């Protein structure tokens, strides 16, 4: 655990090398040696807490950081141009150090699609690797170093629950006037669902443009899985809470009355990001009390009351640019995942800027945290030995409709 990480006040994250976390994810395909598998789907219908990743061999778990770095370097040099390592902004520094490209989930998937590399190691979480597989060719293999690296938000909306919601909505309103929109942080199965039903995917950057498009096509939007991005975008478009209802998939008709379903413009899935929901208004109050003149920048996955108080709101890339654009000597409180905040702080120090996490507990995303140097080393050394492990393979029919939804997004924006 990094020296800056306050283990005494933030719950210890599971040890990813021991394969000790079960996540909401899909069924396993063929089993590989050393605890790896091929993930062939991402539904959670039969076994929602399925253990995917076995423990790594002792040669990886017992290796020192320096030894792992040397082995990763050798494997990467051996694989050469056949390898592309992608690192999401929220990854550990020990992983980002080896990434050929860093970025957000969709940006990295597009980089993968433009690459000729046969082997793409996606250091992120499962829905990101799925999107990369959807956009790459059959000759390319996308791998996720730890199959237990899921996304709690993405897992809050599974295909079966969304299909049930769609059927319930259809019983009380004209379903042809409802446009389903899924956030990028969702499974390939949900991207395929919206593609087949006439909807589209959105990112935190283009959510407003996509929702404008949706409401030009219909009267109502079913938005999943993150209620906060949907709500904050709706407010930015001039709508109010009166136009929105939260759909709880655990309750009949989403916990709503028929009139609510019929009259609302936005049906917002009851989902959230486990990291961004930690930020609260009192954090902003304390930051402004302790740092007069502080600039508060938060992600739109934060709750509405936090977004209303912030100085700037935007996607991960927006946050990076906001810190870069701040005048020298600025103090910036950032409401997003701590690994990115720490990198921004180190980079901004050269311009005499102070960057800190809005939440003093600074807990990392526990699923992003699972990908570490040991898992990256294992995947690369297996490739050197001629074995593809932890391949993410989206079924052809699912990939076809997911690609439609993604292409609609591109056409809109």
| Average pLDDT for runs of 10 along the chain of length 413 | 34 38 34 48 38 84 97 98 94 94 88 95 92 94 92 90 97 96 95 98 95 97 97 98 97 96 96 91 97 97 97 95 96 92 93 93 67 96 97 95 95 89
Task: Measure the CA–CA gap between 400 and 181, rounded to whole angstroms.
Answer: 17
Instruction: Indicate if 70 and 175 belong to the same structural domain.
Output: no
Residue 402 in domain: no
pLDDT reported for residue 30: 39
Alpha helices of 180-226 — where are they, by DSSP H? 188-196, 207-217
Instruction: Indicate if 240 and 292 belong to the same structural domain.
Output: no
The structure's pTM equals 0.85
Instruction: Indicate if 25 and 139 belong to the same structural domain.
Output: yes
Tokens of 407: 């292409």
Tokens of 78: 């051996």
Instruction: Indicate if 143 and 35 belong to the same structural domain.
Output: yes
Burial of 242 (0-12, 13-18, 19+ CB in 10 A): exposed
- Look up the domain containing 87 and give its range: 17-150+367-394
Residue 6 in domain: no
Other Cβ atoms closer than 10 A to 188: 29
Instruction: Indicate if 280 and 266 belong to the same structural domain.
Output: no
pLDDT reported for residue 150: 81
Q: E strands along 144-219, which residues?
A: 178-183, 200-202
Angle, alpha carbons 387-392-396 (nearest 5°): 120
pLDDT reported for residue 338: 86
Instruction: Indicate if 35 and 133 belong to the same structural domain.
Output: yes
Task: Measure the CA–CA gap between 368 and 79, rounded to whole angstroms.
Answer: 25
What is the three-class DSSP state of 268?
strand
pLDDT reported for residue 21: 31
Instruction: Indicate if 66 and 43 belong to the same structural domain.
Output: yes
Comparing C-alpha atoms, which of 315, 308, 349 is closest to residue 332? 349
CA-to-CA dists, residue 375 to 18, 77, 109, 176, 378, angstroms: 10, 17, 20, 46, 5
CATH number at 317 reads: 3.40.50.10800
Element (H, E) at 141: strand 141-143
Residue 362 in domain: no
* Number of domains within the chain: 3
Instruction: Indicate if 264 and 377 belong to the same structural domain.
Output: no
Residue 405 in domain: no
Residue 285 in domain: yes
Exposure on the CB side of residue 278, measured as CA atoms within 13 A: 18
Instruction: Indicate if 176 and 262 belong to the same structural domain.
Output: yes
8 A C-beta contact, residue 247 and residue 291:
no
Residue 410 in domain: no
Comparing C-alpha atoms, which of 204, 245, 205, 203 is closest to residue 222? 245
Other Cβ atoms closer than 10 A to 182: 31
pLDDT reported for residue 36: 52
pLDDT reported for residue 54: 85
Q: What are phi and psi of 298, to 5 degrees?
A: -130, 165
Residue 403 in domain: no
């Amino acid at each position: 655990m990094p020296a800056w990480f306050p283990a005494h006040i933030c719950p210890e994250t599971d040890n990813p090398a021991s394969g000790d976390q079960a996540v909401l994810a899909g069924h396993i395909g063929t089993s590989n040696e050393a605890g790896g598998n091929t993930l062939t789907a991402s539904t959670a219908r039969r076994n929602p807490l399925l253990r995917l990743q076995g423990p790594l061999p002792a040669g990886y778990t017992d290796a020192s950081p320096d030894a792992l770095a040397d082995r990763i370097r050798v494997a990467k040099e051996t694989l050469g141009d056949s390898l592309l390592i992608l690192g999401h902004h929220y990854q550990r520094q020990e992983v980002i150090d080896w990434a050929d490209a860093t970025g957000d989930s969709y940006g990295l998937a597009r980089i993968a699609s433009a690459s000729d590399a046969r082997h793409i190691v996606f250091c992120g979480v499962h829905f990101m690797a799925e999107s990369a597989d959807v956009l790459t060719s059959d000759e390319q293999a996308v791998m996720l170093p730890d199959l237990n690296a899921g996304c709690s938000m993405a897992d809050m909306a599974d295909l079966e629950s969304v299909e049930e919601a769609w059927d319930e909505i259809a019983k009380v309103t004209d379903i042809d006037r409802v446009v389903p929109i899924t956030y990028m942080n969702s499974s390939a199965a949900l991207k395929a669902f919206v593609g087949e039903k006439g909807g589209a995917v959105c990112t935190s950057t283009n959510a407003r443009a996509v929702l404008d498009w949706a409401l030009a096509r219909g009267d109502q939007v079913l938005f999943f899985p993150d209620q906060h991005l949907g709500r904050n975008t709706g407010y930015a478009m001039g709508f109010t809470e009166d136009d929105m209802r939260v759909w709880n998939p655990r309750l009949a008709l989403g916990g709503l009355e028929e009139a609510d379903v019929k009259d609302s413009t936005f049906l917002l899935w009851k989902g959230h990001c486990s990291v961004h929901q930690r930020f609260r208004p009192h954090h902003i109050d304390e930051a402004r009390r302790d740092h007069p003149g502080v600039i508060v920048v938060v992600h739109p996955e934060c709750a509405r009351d936090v977004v209303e108080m912030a100085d700037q709101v935007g996607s991960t890339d927006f946050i990076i640019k906001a810190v870069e654009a701040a005048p020298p000597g600025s103090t910036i409180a950032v409401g997003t995942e701590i690994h990115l905040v720490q990198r921004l702080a180190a980079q901004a120090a050269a311009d005499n800027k102070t960057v800190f996490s809005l939440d003093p507990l600074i807990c990392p995303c526990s699923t992003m945290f699972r990908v570490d140097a040991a898992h990256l080393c294992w995947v690369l050394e297996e490739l050197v030995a001629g074995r593809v492990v932890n391949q993410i393979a989206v079924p052809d029919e699912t990939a076809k409709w997911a690609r439609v939804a993604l292409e609609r997004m591109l056409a809109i924006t």
